């Protein structure tokens, strides 16, 4: 699998594609899905302490025998662990469960209301101590990042936000581009929802001989967003990875872009969701 890299503001290059582990709560299912993905060439993993599968991810990584430096492993600090000391403790716990002595990515899962600056300072410390290569945020709007710009020292390298053909965030993308922050699209397939049956996408898919999921994932990549679609189904894990040997035309890109006007969020709005 020839996965291109995205170059981050700190000069580190990371794979633009991997597997997401949300809602894979059954330990054996998490282990089996990730083991299969690693076997067929996936090297980037997105999990979170709140997904409850860090231990299973760690087992699959260890048993894969893949050199640690060839993997990109990211996890997240949850709302209950926000704050400086609690975040440092959460980092140790996640690292232990994952069986790693450094993390590739460590992200704040949701901004919450009050403590994300303190949480961010803990991430800055972990970054300076070289315990994590990439620090970032999820679900941050420009006003959250502006606060970090005023009150912290290092800017997030990535912002992981909801983004699929029925929900785009062009203003956030423009803001992130102006600060060299790479966007990661969560629920890139709208969580397997109605977008997979959209007639514009289905039309493009049948014309170029790809599946709707492959068309959507390719659209993300050409839109310069990192993606890690989740699947526990081997056939889909494989299908989702076959997106590096074709290109969508500018007209097809625009046709899918135009669907974003629907603004159909499937997750919470970070400005009104204060948990994590």
Ligand X SMILES: NC(=O)c1ccc[n+]([C@@H]2O[C@H](COP(=O)([O-])OP(=O)(O)OC[C@H]3O[C@@H](n4cnc5c(N)ncnc54)[C@H](OP(=O)(O)O)[C@@H]3O)[C@@H](O)[C@H]2O)c1
**Contact residues for ligand X, defined by CB under 6 A:** 20-22, 46, 109, 138-139, 160, 186-192, 196, 213, 228-233, 236, 239-240, 267
Question: In the structure encoding, which two tokens stand for residue 248, read together?
Answer: 């969508």
According to DSSP, the residues that pair with 158 across neighbouring strands are 182
User: Can you tell me the distance from the alpha carbon of 51 to that of 46, in angstroms, rounded to the nearest whole number?
Assistant: 10
> Which residue's Cβ lies closest to ligand X?
20
Determine the 3-state secondary structure of 233 from DSSP: coil
What would the DSSP string read from start to end of 4-55? -EEE-TTS-EEESB-EE-TT--SHHHHHHHHHHHHHTT--EEE--GGGT-HH
Residue with smaller CB distance to ligand X, 25 or 207: 25
Asked whether the beta carbons of 167 and 161 are under 8 A apart, the reply is no
Q: How far apart are CA 111 and CA 96, in angstroms?
A: 24
Catalytic-residue membership of 51: yes
Q: Which CB atom, from 126 or from 185, has the smaller least distance to ligand X?
A: 185
Q: Which is nearer to ligand X, 153 or 233 (CB)?
A: 233
DSSP string across 88-139: HHHHHHHHHHHT-SSEEEEEES---SS-HHHHHHHHHHHHHTTSEEEEEEES
User: Which residue out of 51, 106, 166, 175 is catalytically annotated?
Assistant: 51
Check: CB of residue 102 under 8 Å from CB of residue 132: yes
Catalytic residue numbers, as ranges: 51
């Amino acid at each position: 699998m020839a996965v291109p890299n995205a170059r981050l503001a700190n000069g580190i290059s990371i794979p633009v594609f991997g597997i997401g582990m949300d809602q894979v709560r059954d330990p054996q299912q998490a282990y089996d899905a990730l083991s299969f993905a690693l076997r067929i060439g996936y090297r980037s993993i997105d999990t979170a302490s709140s997904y409850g599968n860090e231990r299973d991810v760690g087992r699959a990584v260890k048993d894969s025998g893949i050199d640690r430096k060839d993997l990109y492993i990211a996890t997240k600090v949850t709302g209950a662990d926000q704050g400086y000391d609690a975040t440092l403790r959460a980092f140790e716990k996640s690292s232990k469960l994952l069986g790693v002595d450094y993390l590739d990515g460590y992200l704040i899962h949701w901004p919450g209301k009050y403590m994300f600056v303190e949480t961010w300072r803990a991430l800055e410390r972990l970054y300076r101590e070289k315990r994590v290569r990439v620090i970032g945020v999820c679900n941050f709007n420009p006003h959250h990042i502006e606060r970090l710009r005023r009150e912290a020292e290092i800017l997030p390298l990535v912002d992981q936000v909801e983004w699929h053909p029925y929900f785009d965030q062009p203003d956030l993308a423009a803001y992130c581009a102006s600060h060299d922050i790479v966007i990661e699209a969560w629920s890139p397939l709208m969580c397997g929802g109605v977008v997979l049956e959209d007639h514009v996408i289905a039309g493009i898919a049948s014309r170029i001989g790809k599946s709707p999921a492959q068309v959507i994932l390719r659209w993300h990549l050409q839109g310069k967003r990192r993606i890690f679609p989740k699947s526990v189904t081997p056939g889909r894990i494989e299908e989702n990875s076959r997106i590096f040997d074709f290109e969508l035309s500018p007209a097809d890109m625009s046709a899918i872009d135009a669907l974003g006007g629907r603004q159909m969020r499937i997750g919470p709005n970070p400005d009104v969701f204060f948990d994590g």
